[in-house]
Structure 1
Amino acid sequence: MQVLKEEIRFSILNAAKELFLEKGFEMASMNMIAKKAGISKSNLYNYFPSKEDIFYVLTEYAYDKIESVLEDLFNHGSDDNFDVERFVALASEKLISLLTKYKKEMMLIVDCSQGTKFEGTKQAFILRLQEHYISEFKKFDILVEDNDYFFVHYIATSLIEGLLEIIRHDKSDAWIRKNINLFIKYYIRGYSQFFTDDFS
């Protein structure tokens, strides 16, 4: 029985990550992955039975981390004494930590996952954010004419797309940190205006 070598497995995962980011899950093949990793296709199958298995090894742990951060932010416990600046700092810290550590995995999940169980994840994130915002508006008796919450769709979309646009540039961690911090300050301070007494 062939001994599986950790360095070969690592090489396979790195090669697959690059190919999935470049071509997307559907267009990448096991042949391409084997060639890029510098091994035979038959040897590749000793490590992974399919490209789906490779994709999920690359993404499932990061997806769980994303879910955890979303739950933390959704359960921030807003009330009448909600401190906007404290939440800005909390959200920035959590999102910076997540998106610097898992930026490529995040791009795999939202931009390159067609044909996998993560297809549609970006829209699912947006929908959850919309539902959270609508719940907050109702909780604080913020009236919206004719219950037309379409504007919630575009403010939720702008948050998700804004964060993705930052990591898509694939700059340094320091650059990502600075831009996420600026974006979150701009976004949350604007969003908090819905909860002021003079909102109309």
Structure 2
Amino acid sequence: MPQRLKEELRERLLAAAAAVFAVQGFEKAKLADMAELAGTSTSNIYKYFTDKEALFHEIVTPALAGQLLRLLRARVRELQSIGNWLEADAAGSSHARAQLSFWIEQRHVVLILLRGAEGTRYAHVRGLMIGEMLRLAARYVAERQGPEALTPLLRFMLARTFTRTMDTIADTLAEYRDAASIQAAISLFWRYQLAGLQSLLNPQQQQGGVSTAGPGQSSE
């Protein structure tokens, strides 16, 4: 029985710490706030974890950070071969569903990686995600319109768009906690974002119709 109680307290501490890190970020997070949320004393934290950093690394792991990036890459690469991007939401895309499910199941971890990892080994993950989206979008444009189409202005706008994408995902996960609300909010965001991106990256597309050509293919 004592061992079970110890394990329950450890799990409460991890849950409380994840919530505090997600809201405050690693650098500003306080052990006292975590202990209060877990219903225990700060001294009890040190019975399970040596310091705040050790506690953080119990919550945010290389496997979870890697999964976040892999799902992003799969999602963006899929868009390169889909004709109508508006169909690439959670209802029409297995990659979109997998990505959304991960965001919901690992809500606190995703929030931390997107805006609360400064001061940790994961501080670069947000920038890496933005850079990956920019790289794949640039390749998409170059394949369809030629390298000359990738102007400094377009690169700038894409970089700002993808930065805002990270902010919107984080804001959504911070505002909503239940799966249904997150799904509804992300669905609305994707409807707006995917239409805008397809128009920006594929301006030759005829309004009222969609091109089904894949990379390097002609739709004629």
Is TM (by shorter chain) over 0.5?
yes
Question: 2:202 is matched with which residue: 191, 195, 198?
Answer: 195
What code does the residue aligned with 1:11 have? R
Structure 1 gaps of 5+ residues are: none
2:151 and 2:12 map into 1 onto residues whose CA distance is 56
Q: Which amino acid aligns with 2:28?
A: M
Counterpart of 1:15 in structure 2 is 16
Matches within 5 A, 1:126-145: 126-142=130-146, 143-144=148-149
Structure 1 residues 176 and 22: CA distance shift in structure 2, 3 A = closer
Query: Identity across aligned pairs (percent)?
Result: 18
Q: Tell me the CA shift for residue 189 of structure 1.
A: 2.1
Aligned residues: 196
Kept after mapping to 1: 8 A contact 2:115/2:170: no
State the TM-score, normalized to the length of structure 2. 0.74
Determine the structure 2 residue equivalent to 1:93: 97
Q: Confirm whether residue 173 of structure 1 aligns to residue 175 of structure 2.
A: no
Secondary structure of 1:118's partner?
A: coil
- Of residues 69, 72, 75 in structure 2, which corresponds to 1:70? 72
For 2:176, what is the secondary structure of its paired residue?
coil
SS of residue paired to 2:164: helix
Shift of residue 13 of structure 1?
0.7
Equivalent in the alignment of 2:85: 84
- What amino acid maps onto 2:45 in structure 1? L
Question: Are the structure 2 counterparts of residues 77 and 20 from structure 1 closer, same or farther at C-alpha, using a change threshold of 3 Å?
Answer: closer
CA RMSD of aligned residues (A): 2.8
Structure 1 residue 137 displacement after superposition:
0.8
Query: Which residue of structure 1 aligns with residue 214 of structure 2?
Result: none
